[in-house]
Amino acid sequence: MNTSSMAVTSNGDEDESSTIRSSWGLAVRGLRNIRRLPSAFVPAMLMPVFTTIAFSGTFAAITELPNFPTSRSVNWFMPLGICFGSAFAGVGLGFSAIRDIETGFYDRLRMSPTSRWSLIIGPLIAAWSRAILICVFVISLGFVLGVRFTAGVTGVATLVAASLGIATICLGWGLGLAFRFRDMRGAALMQLSMFVALYLTPAQVPLPLTTGWLHAVARINPVTNILRLARQGLVSKSSVDSLSWANTWGGLVAILGMSILALIFAKRGLAKLDK
Amino acid sequence: MTVAIATRQTVALTKRSTLAILRQPVLIVPSLVFPLFFAALSASSFSKTTRLPGFPKVDSFLQFTLASTVIQGVLFGSITGAAALATDIEGGFFDRLLAAPTARTGILIGNLMGSALFGAAQSAIFVFALLPFGVRVEAGLLGIGAMIISGGLIALGISSLMSAVAIRTGSAEAVQGAFPLLFVLLFFSSVFFPRQTMHGTYKTIATINPISYLVEGIRSLVLDGFSGLAIAQAILIPIGICVLGFVLALTELRRRLGAR
């Protein structure tokens, strides 16, 4: 990316235009890195594929449990796979930020006369684009494996909304950690926290079927609402978890709240990097 | 070279490889904590699945998952020995060992024994960590002993396979890159759920995957008690992997020496 293209501006409109241009430039760079550095994106694509196939096969019998919301294990595990992939898409941009900080490229970005928000919005657009790629690929694979959207196109939309939400949260969290740690120790923490947050939910079986400590933790974990949002278009119409406003708003609120917090975390981390 | 000297050299290298693992808590802690975390997670997630048709008779899902925890932890931990070997190759230490009058097999065994000892220790830790939560090992102390030996042998076998990769490539990154293969092997087996509950292609793959028989051997010691078949599965399969791994690693070593 040519940092000189980020023009110094004096009035508000031009500032805004510069922010948009810079964000777009960084987003394009993030997407170009998929081709230039496939090792940074391939895990994000393989993770949901592997989760969908392996979990659907290994745990296929759980759909025989009483009150299980679907008879197809692939319907249950594909959204989980997409959420994992989207989380990787988000934290993957955090890894890129660490690499840029270590190589000194980030110093050039910080010295450029552009809004600090563009250093967050650019990767955010790239994370969304990567999450969309994951959704397209994994949903297509899901159809091959027998996935049926019981709520039609609306079900696809809620799944994509959950995917974009998780990508946003994980991007904010990943960038925030990258700006604070500034080396690969941050990458380990990004992955670990992401896994724990996603697993401390009804990731594997519905909430009423979980027991003990996990049931208590999953009930208060906001990510549970996001998973419910992702899955509601794929469970049986007769299930209480099927597409409805009651199963939607909690996920949207969780996405909004966690995204705001994560992006503020990233912005504050960037401010610390500037000091 | 006498057998006594070769043994002394192997013991010295074993001490070195064991200390190399112990000095890296960043590698030890995740390979102990993660399997226990997933055991706790599975126990809460899948407790009601024990009533499914075909599910083996168990006290709890935690009892079922003990064998999975051992296999999972040992497989993931065993990669450290081979990665250390690759680091020795990258750093030139391996060449110095080869140039010294040391037995080739001793170099290999010594480097991998650290992983084997760590694998055995992991198995013991997992068993004794889960016992207080009501997990009963039907085969008793003898069975626990067999599980610890099995853990050590599995670690040695996987390390030897990975060391073939390390010697061929001379790259720790390549060894780490082979890690996902272990993940695939684990998931396409009966490590996490019984084969009796699987269907179709997935069941076929799990049936031809040797890891399924290995875990079922250890699981049988936990659920059914001591038997010849369980011991054969828990001990002989890892020995088979060790033999294959050492043949491959020594072949790669000879190729490496021949290429000079």
Residue A47: its pLDDT value, please? Answer: 86
Alpha carbon B104 to chain centroid, angstroms = 23
- Our CA-based measurement puts residue A71 at a distance from the nearest CA of chain B, in whole angstroms, of 14
Give the C-alpha separation, B93 to B83, whole Å.
Answer: 14
Give the C-alpha separation, A187 to A40, whole Å.
Answer: 12
Alpha-carbon torsion (A114, A116, A119, A125), positive or negative: negative
Q: Which residues contact A181 (CB under 8 A, 6 or more apart)?
A: A98, A189
Residue A13: its pLDDT value, please? Answer: 61
Segment A121-141 shows an average pLDDT of 94
**More confident call, B103 vs A190:** A190
Q: Mean pLDDT score of chain B, rounded to an integer? A: 90
Residue A7: its pLDDT value, please? Answer: 43
Q: Does B71 touch chain A (CB under 8 A)?
A: no
Above 80 in pLDDT, residue A14? no
- Our CA-based measurement puts residue B187 at a distance from the nearest CA of chain A, in whole angstroms, of 6
Q: Are A143 and A62 in contact (CB under 8 A)?
A: no
Task: Write out pLDDT tens, residues B180-202.
Answer: 778 888 889 999 999 999 988 99
Query: Do residue A57 and residue B41 have CB atoms under 8 angstroms apart?
Result: no
What are the Cα distances from residue A127, in Å, to A118, A137, A160? 14, 15, 13
Enter the tokens of residue B115.
Answer: 């992983």
Segment B157-183 shows an average pLDDT of 83
Question: Which range, of A10-14, A201-205, B115-119, B215-219, averages the lowest pLDDT?
Answer: A10-14
Q: Are B64 and B23 in contact (CB under 8 A)?
A: no
Three-class secondary structure assignment of B68-109: HHHHHHHHHHCHHHHHHHHHHHHHCHHHHHHHCCCCHHHHHH
At B155, the amino acid letter reads A
Residue A4: its pLDDT value, please? Answer: 43
- The whole model's pTM is what? 0.86
Please give the share of chain A, as a percent, with pLDDT higher than 90.
64
Q: Does B202 touch chain A (CB under 8 A)?
A: yes
Please give the share of chain B, as a percent, with pLDDT higher than 90.
57
Residue among B71, B37, B64 at smallest CA distance from B137: B64
Task: Write out pLDDT tens, residues A194-251.
Answer: 989 999 999 999 999 999 999 999 999 999 999 999 999 999 999 999 999 999 999 9
Above 50 in pLDDT, residue A1? no
Rg (C-alpha) for chain A, rounded Å, is: 19
Work out the pLDDT band at B225, boundaries 50, 70, 90: very high
**More confident call, A177 vs A20:** A177
Above 90 in pLDDT, residue A165? yes
- Our CA-based measurement puts residue A45 at a distance from the nearest CA of chain B, in whole angstroms, of 14
Q: Does B43 touch chain A (CB under 8 A)?
A: yes
Work out the pLDDT band at B108, boundaries 50, 70, 90: confident
Enter the tokens of residue B199.
Answer: 């269907």
Q: Does A144 touch chain B (CB under 8 A)?
A: no
Task: Write out pLDDT tens, residues A57-93.
Answer: 999 999 999 989 999 999 999 999 999 999 999 998 8
Task: Write out pLDDT tens, residues B23-40.
Answer: 878 778 888 999 999 999
Q: Does A54 touch chain B (CB under 8 A)?
A: yes
Q: Which residues contact A221 (CB under 8 A, 6 or more apart)?
A: A197, A200, A201
Kindly provide the residue ranges of all beta strands, DSSP E only, lying in chain A, ordered along the sequence: none
Residue A5: its pLDDT value, please? Answer: 44
Alpha carbon B202 to chain centroid, angstroms = 23
Task: Write out pLDDT tens, residues B227-238.
Answer: 999 999 999 999
Work out the pLDDT band at A36, boundaries 50, 70, 90: confident
Q: Which residues contact A270 (CB under 8 A, 6 or more apart)?
A: A116, A119, A120, A175, A179
Please give the share of chain A, as a percent, with pLDDT higher than 70.
93
Query: Do residue A58 and residue B193 have CB atoms under 8 angstroms apart?
Result: yes
**More confident call, A255 vs A88:** A255
Give the DSSP per-residue string, A242-255.
Answer: SS-STTTHHHHHHH
At A45, the amino acid letter reads M
